[in-house]
Amino acid sequence: DAGVIQSPRHEVTEMGQEVTLRCKPISGHNSLFWYRQTMMRGLELLIYFNNNVPIDDSGMPEDRFSAKMPNASFSTLKIQPSEPRDSAVYFCASSTARRNTGELFFGEGSRLTVL
């Protein structure tokens, strides 16, 4: 079975450039989450969607970050312009909100380095 698919797996870019991270959730899952992980702050929830609708974006650091979910099978997280402090691993996760079992299925992450 296909899990959560994220792309790119690695990205190195220069400060000021636009970065777009992509996520395909598990088919049938109706909740999608974007997390960011750093050594200093651990895993932080950025935003989550339920049935393609953003429910809570209070974790989005600032206006440079935006996320969209145009349909049930695709989401993007965009950073524009990027800054060195945005360097982190960005994880996308999905779940079935019908059963709150606490099981989020994570993608392998997108490791972003901003120089």
Partner 1 sequence: RKEVEQDPGPFNVPEGATVAFNCTYSNSASQSFFWYRQDCRKEPKLLMSVYSSGNEDGRFTAQLNRASQYISLLIRDSKLSDSATYLCVVNMRNSGYALNFGKGTSLLVTP
- Site of interaction with partner 1 (CB under 8 A): 31, 33, 35, 41-43, 45, 48, 50, 55-56, 91, 95, 97, 100-104, 106-109
Q: How far is CA 99 from CA 21, 27, 54, 102, in A?
A: 28, 16, 19, 8
Q: For partner 1, give the closer residue by CB, 71 or 100.
A: 100
* Minimum CB–partner distance for residue 81 and partner 1 (Å): 27
**Cα–Cα distance for residue pair 88/98, rounded to 1 Å:** 31
* Minimum CB–partner distance for residue 91 and partner 1 (Å): 6
Q: For partner 1, give the closer residue by CB, 1 or 103.
A: 103
**Cα–Cα distance for residue pair 35/78, rounded to 1 Å:** 13
